[in-house]
Amino acid sequence: MSNAIESAKLPATISTPARRKGLSLRAREELIAYLLISPWIIGFLVFTLGALVFSLIISFYNTDLMSPSKFIGLDNYKEMLFDDELFWQALKVTTLYTLGVVPVQVGLGLAVALLLNQKVRGLGVWRTVFYVPSVVSGVAVAMIWIWFFHPDFGLFNAILASFGIKGPSWLYSETWALPSLIITSIWNIGPGMLIFLAGLQSIPKEMYEAAQLDGATAWRQFTHITIPMLSPQILFNSIIGIIGSYQVFTTSFVMTEGGPNNATLTMVLYLYRRGFLLARFGYASALAWVLFLIIMVFTLFTLRSSRSSVFYGG
C-alpha cells in the first residue's frame, strides 16, 4: 500500500518514457486513474455518502446543537406525518408549484427552441433574449416581480385596470400568491431551451427530406419525427425540472416569506425554518429525508411512465 502511494506521486516524472519498475503500462494507467479520481472519492465519502448517513442518524434524534442530543427513534417522522399540519401544507404547496411550473416550462422551452431552430435573422440576439432571465440573480428577479405584482402601482394591475378590471392583490392574497410565484418561475426557460436546441440540431436532416418525399405535412413531420427524436430531451428536462421545483426556495423566501398564512410555504423554506430558525436539526433532517424520498419517487415515476414513449438512438 505504501508502495502504491509512493508511485502515486508520479505526475512530475510521468513525461519521462521510462516504465516504472514492476508496473505494466496498464497497471500504471489504472493507478493514475485512481489518483485522478481520488478527490472525488474523498468528496463523495465525506460530503455526500457520509453526510447522508449522518443525516439519517440525526433524524432519529432531538438536537438543537446546544443541549445534549436525545435519541427519540421515529418520533420526528411520526410528528411530521400525523401531527404537523405545516408539513402537509408545505408538501401541497410544493407539489402544486411543481405541477404548475414544470409542464409549462418544458412546453414553452420546446416552443421557443422550435422557433429559434427556424431560419431567422439575428439568431444570436434572439437566443440571448430568451436566455437573459436565466442569468439574472434569483433575488433580483424576485424583486422585479414583487413590483410587477404590486396591488397598487404594479404593472399587472395597471394593465387590468385599463380594461376596467380591478386586479387581485396577488402576493398579498392567499389565493393568488402561489400562482404569482408560478408565473415568476415560468420565465426561467433558458437552460431547458438550450438542451432542446441542441437536440433539434442533432436530428439528421435526411429524416425530414425522406418524409417530404413521402408527402408528409409539416404537422406530421413534427409529430412523427421531431417529437419522438426529442423525447430523451423532454424526459431530461422534465426530471431536472421536477428535482429543481421541489427544492424551490429563493422565490418564496424573498417574495412572500412563505405567506400569506403559509400559502407559499415550500418544503425547503419549511426545512429552513425548522432547522435554522427554530434549531430543530433532527426534525429538519427528517424533513430532508422525506423530501429526498418524494423527489426519488417522482423521478422514478416519470422515468417508468416514459419508458414506452422515449426513443433513444437514431
Closest distance to another protein from the beta carbon of 225 (Å):
16
Closest distance to another protein from the beta carbon of 207 (Å):
16
Closest distance to another protein from the beta carbon of 96 (Å):
18
User: What span, in angstroms and rounded, lies between the C-alpha atoms of 170 and 151?
Assistant: 7
CB 130 within 8 A of CB 191: no
Q: What is the dihedral of CA 185, 269, 94, 132, to 10 degrees?
A: 10
**61 DSSP β-pair partners:** 71
Question: Which residue lies nearer to another protein by CB, 55 or 221?
Answer: 55
**71 DSSP β-pair partners:** 61
User: What span, in angstroms and rounded, lies between the C-alpha atoms of 145 and 184?
Assistant: 7
CB 60 within 8 A of CB 73: yes
Give the single-character DSSP code of 217: -
Q: What are phi and psi of 188, to 5 degrees?
A: -90, 70
Question: Which residue lies nearer to another protein by CB, 265 or 295?
Answer: 295
Q: Give the SS3 label for residue 61.
A: strand
Closest distance to another protein from the beta carbon of 32 (Å):
5
Tally of CB atoms within 10 A around 90: 25
Which residue type, as a one-letter code, is found at position 92?
K
Closest distance to another protein from the beta carbon of 107 (Å):
13
Question: Which residue lies nearer to another protein by CB, 117 or 173?
Answer: 117
Tell me which residue has cell 429543481. Answer: 244
Question: Which residue lies nearer to another protein by CB, 99 or 120?
Answer: 120
Question: Which residue lies nearer to another protein by CB, 263 or 291?
Answer: 291
Closest distance to another protein from the beta carbon of 218 (Å):
9
Question: Which residue lies nearer to another protein by CB, 41 or 210?
Answer: 41
